[in-house]
Each structure stands twice: as C-alpha cells, then as structure tokens.
A = this chain, B = another copy of it.
Amino acid sequence: MKLPMDIKLARLRELMKTASPTLSKGQGDQESGGGGVGLSAYVVPSEDAHQSEYTAAPHKRRQFISGFTGSAATAVITMDKALLWTDGRYFLQAEKELDPDHWQLMKMNTPPFPEIHKWLADNCSRGSYVGIDPTLISENTWQKWGKELATRESKLVPVSQNLVDMVWAEAAEERLAYEEKELFVYPLQYAGEKWEGKVDRVKAQMEEEKCELLVVSELDEIAWLFNLRGSDIEFNPVFFAYAIISANQNPLLFVNQSKLTSEVKQHLEGVVLKPYEEVFTVLDEMVQKCVEQKLKVWMGPQVSHALASTVTGKDEKLLLVKNTPTKMLKAIKNECEVECMRQVHIKDGIALCEYLRILHTNLCRSSTGTEGSSKKEFTEISGSDMLDGLRSQQEGFISLSFDTISGSGPNGAVIHYKASPHTDRKLCADELYLVDSGGQYWEGTTDVTRTVSFLSSPPPKQVETYTLVLKGHIALAELVIPEGVIGYKIDCVARSALWEIGLDYQHGTGHGVGAFLNVHEGPQGISYRTNAHEEGLRENMILSNEPGYYESGQFGIRIESLMVYRKHVTKYTLHEGKKFLKPETITCVPLCRQLIDKSMLSDKEVNWVNDYHQFCWDKLTPLAEKQGKTELIEWLKKQTQPL
C-alpha cells in the first residue's frame, strides 16, 4: 500500500506527540527522561548511520517521507509544516518532486532562506524539543544545532526509535527488505598492503595522539582497512560494519555473520568478529574502561551522535574528534593502487571512446548539413545504456561507480541530471552532449566526463565556453603545488578564465576518488567551499579535475579527468624537505577537437592538449588492438592528431 502524503505526515505527527527521547546522562534534561515529551519538530536527514552519501534502499527515509529522490537533503516536520532543505544542484528537481500542498522547499546557501538550525531555533516555540534519530546525525552537527537551540532554551533530543521507520512499517510493501550480501576479499595484488600492516600504521597514529581506542564508522574506511569489499550500497563496494581499533588488543569488526564466507573469515584471522548491532554495547563497555583509566577515544567528525555520546555521556574530555587515521591513509594511495588505477583507466577509456566513436559515426552531420539515412538513432537513455554495456564488457568490471549522467542540450545544464523516460532527449547533431560516467573494477574506480559536439563547427559560444573550461582544466592539471596545500586554496585556478568574462560554475572542481571504493571520498577535495575537515593535498592522492559551465536551458559543459598528485622534481630546492607535487592525469579519453578554439590557447596550453592526446593514443591503442577494435583505432588516430 503506497501511503498518500497526507496520511504519512499525519501518522508521523501522531508519533511526534508521544515520542520518547532517550535522554541519558549528559544528553539532556534528566527530569524528562522517561515518558513521551512531545516534539515540536522532527528532523529526517538523508544519510544512514555511517553518514554515507549513497544509501541502501531501506535507509532512504528522507525520500520516503518527502517524496524527493535527490541524494542530498534534510526534511523537517513540525505540527503544521513540512520543509525540505536542499542545495543548488537540486532546486529544480525538488520543485518538481515535492507536493506543494504539503512541502515547502528551503534553498540552502540562498538568502533569505535560513540554515536549518537557525530556522528551528526561530520557529519552534521557546523550550521546545526537536527530535532526531541520534544514529543519523553527526556529532559535529549535533553540537552546532544543540548550541543554537539552546539560545532559545530549546533542545535537540535523541529519539532512538526512528519515527519514519514506524510510519514506513505500515506501508510494508513500499519498503525494500534489507538483504544480507556476502563480503569478498580484496586481493593483495590490488590492495598493495596487508590489512595487518594498515592496522599497524593506524595504531602508530593512535599512539601519537595518545588514544586508546579508535572508532571507525565510515564504510569505505572499514572496507579499505580490512581489504574487504561488499555490495550493500549501489555503486559503492562497501558493506555495513563498524570497526574498533584498540591500542593493545585485536581489532574488532562489527558485521553480520551471515555476510561472512569462510574465505573472509580466514582472511580476518586475528580480528574479533561481532554482530553489527552489538557495536553500541561493546563500545560502551570499552569506553567505561577508558574512563576509569582516563584514556582517550578517537572518532571522526562524521561519527554519529549515538556513537559519540557513548564517550561524551561519560567524560567529554576523553573524546578526540578529528579525521580518523583511516581516512587519510586510505586517501593516500600506495604505489600498487596508483598503478592499478592507471591500468583501469585504459580499459575504461576504451569503453568510453568506443561509445563516443559510435555516436560520432551515427550523429556527425556532414559538412552539407544532411544526416545519413542509414545512421542509428540514440537517446540519452539508450545511449547511456549502450555505454554501460560497453563498460561492462571490459575485464574486471564490477558495476558502475554512479548513475551515468547523459544529458543532451538543455539537460546537459542540469548538473546532477538523471535521464528519465519523461525527460529523455534524442541525441542529435544540433545539441551539445555531456556524458559523466564511471565504473568499479577490481583494479579501481573511474569517473570521467566528456562534452562533445557532433557538428564540424559548433556555435561560437559553445566553442568559447568549452575552450575556457578547458583552460581551467589545463591550469589545474599543470599547477605545481607544495605538498599540504588545502584544495580550496587552489580551486580558483580552474575558474579564472571563466571569471574573466563573467562566468562561473556552481560546483567544486575536484573530489577525492577511492581505489575500488567510493567515487567520492575525503578528506581531500578542490572546491570553492571551505570545509573545516578537509585536509591538504598529499602525494598519491587521487582527485577529479572537472571545471564546467552550464547555460541554463541551453547546454552544459564539463571536462573531467582523474589525476594523481605525484612528487615533482623542481629546478630549485627551497629548504630541506619541502616537497612539491604535480598532477598526473590518468583518464585516457580525447577531448572534443571541434569545441577547441586554438587561438584562445597559449602555446603552453596547445602543447598540453597535444601531449595529452599523444598520451591517450599511446595508452589506448595497444589495448584497442588486443580487443580487435580497428574502427576505434582509426577514430582515435583522428581525435589525437596535434591541434
């Protein structure tokens, strides 16, 4: 039974009236401990208990309650209002998907819309309770919101029983059951380091910080640490688990037993395996010992309030909130991972080039302006299906690394576009086509965007803006940096060519990418946004380089390649040991020649393009030959000629 929105909200509001906050010591007013206190507002975040960006179907609570399907948003329900905060990428989609009779869109980072916690403080009556599932909010956010609410004598309260789940339970068939999927070992030939060695390096950092325990709750960190992968979340080869590393005992992994094959169990010899659900009780006991001995516990800033409060509820001073060592160690790839990532980009490049060749062959208009009648037709969806198929033919392919973005003409301007039968456009020579896609392979993860025109001379503004985006892409690809520079301090180099003529793009320039892990990973990034937990760029980190330009209702341009920061030998040496890094682009897919105005490029930029095309040719042709793709080699030959 699909519940109508008014029923859903009415049921939720019923539950809010009698909700029982779980107010343990240090978490709130002790006098209001027991029975229902009534909530003025209930907050439903997008994330799961691991603060995952992508979530499994049973965790899509915010989507269930609001009807909005985008990946990032927070819903707030009060007795008479229902509001959804989302960011600029999703304004159009949210306006379409939200039922205006019930829901109000709150635009993030857009005056005069207030931030969520400010709105809560200003709109809930003084002394109110605002409820949230404490496993779904990071400790950082908890602290910030709680402080704001306190200015109105209101309180953020943890409600352990998830109220949306209770409503959802009544709509049983709408909720996909959670399915246990088996883990698999990530072989040493790809991982490059045994998990035991990783644990030792983690422990060394714990020792430096004088921490007795480290709690790891982010799924990619756990998968990386133990050289395991899973299939619990679409696109991300991770599995639901928690890990606790203790200075002097064996590591603990909390994961459901039914996921564990005998191979995995053997691989994990020396790890204490516990059921997933036991993390809270086990941690509680371990923390108790730390408290008695005044030993510190380390958790990442994304850790849930529920986990953090096992420590803060006993002794606030014992909690160290700081990026976990697993996060940084995972992001700095070893040489084996780097080499695997290089290799995987060759086969991934073959798949995307083959797709672009087919489109090119079928869509390119001859110079007389007529289209050949024998040519095949493609739409955004049939095109991306073909691309997905080509990718899956490559050896070692596991899955896509995210939903392919396949946008023609105006749809290319929708940054997080997902084609639906509703919006599906026919690909045609008149429209610029943007395709952003990637795969998960045994050897690693890919993410690449190319924007192509099928015209021999595309409209001037498309050429101008493509060339400016390319200038930004080259500027970042060529930028030598001192190791440790934080990404937001260099993001501008990819924008300055656009700024000069009054243009810009409303997304970051680069995100971290995992090695057969999440396509978005921290702590590294290159964005115009300042992120307090972002860390500096280090040797062997992998990031995307993806400036763009989006002309609403007309076309979108993005040029995205992955790059690995490598040590750069400089002419001079500043003072002892200051290391400089330079990106090595590892994506092998030629750029769209017709969209480049050579006269706008400096000699150095022209050389960069020619060198890059030579690199694509050198890397792709041996594999294309091996795969017998002679037409592709012909096509590559043309595409990679010097400008």
Contact = CB atoms under 8 A, between A and B. Distances in A.
Interface in A565-616: 570-574, 578, 580, 602
Interface string A488-509: 1111110010011111100000
A319 B488 CA distance: 31
B571 A489 contact: no
A580 B499 CA distance: 8
Q: Dominant SS at the A interface?
A: loop
Contacts of A501: 570-572
Nearest to A490: B492
A209 B499 CA distance: 32
A265 interface: no
Contacts of A643: none
Contacts of A500: 480, 570
Contacts of A502: 570-574, 578, 580
Copy number of this protein in the oligomer? 2
A317 interface: yes
A481 interface: yes
A490 B530 CA distance: 13
A486 B486 CA distance: 14
Contacts of A602: 602
A491 B492 CA distance: 9
A184 interface: no
A480 B496 contact: yes
Nearest to A501: B571
Contacts of A150: 317
A482 interface: yes
A151 interface: yes
Chain A, interface size category, equals 20 to 34
B493 A481 contact: no
Contact of A493 (B496, B528, B578): B496
Given A501-B571, A502-B573, A493 B493 contact: yes
A602 B480 CA distance: 19
A447 to B, nearest CB: 24
A282 interface: no
A479 interface: yes
Contacts of A166: none
A530 B150 CA distance: 29
A361 to B, nearest CB: 34
A557 to B, nearest CB: 14
Nearest to A569: B502
A176 interface: no
A150 B479 CA distance: 44
A485 interface: yes
Contacts of A493: 492-493, 496
Given A499-B580, A571-B502, A485 B492 contact: yes
Interface in A140-154: 150-151
Contacts of A491: 489
A280 to B, nearest CB: 26
Nearest to A551: B572
A496 B481 CA distance: 7
Name which of A151, A493, A502, A573 has the most chain B CB atoms within 10 A of its CB: A502
B317 A504 contact: no
Contact of A530 (B499, B528, B530, B572): B530
A489 B528 contact: yes
A491 B493 CA distance: 10
Nearest to A579: B502
A598 to B, nearest CB: 15
Contacts of A481: 492, 499
Interface string A123-154: 00000000000000000000000000011000
A122 to B, nearest CB: 11
A486 B488 CA distance: 10
Name which of A489, A490, A493 has the most chain B CB atoms within 10 A of its CB: A489
A504 B492 contact: no
Contacts of A574: 502-504
Contacts of A578: 502, 504
A482 B602 CA distance: 24
Contacts of A317: 150-151
7 contacts: A151-B317, A479-B496, A481-B499, A489-B492, A502-B578, A503-B572, A503-B574
Given A493-B493, A501-B571, A503-B574, 11 more contacts: A151-B317, A480-B500, A482-B504, A485-B528, A488-B489, A489-B530, A492-B493, A502-B573, A502-B578, A530-B530, A602-B602
Interface of A: 150-151, 317, 479-482, 485-486, 488-493, 496, 499-504, 528, 530, 570-574, 578, 580, 602
Going nearest first, the 3 A-B pairs with the smallest beta carbon separation are: A502-B570, A501-B571, A502-B572
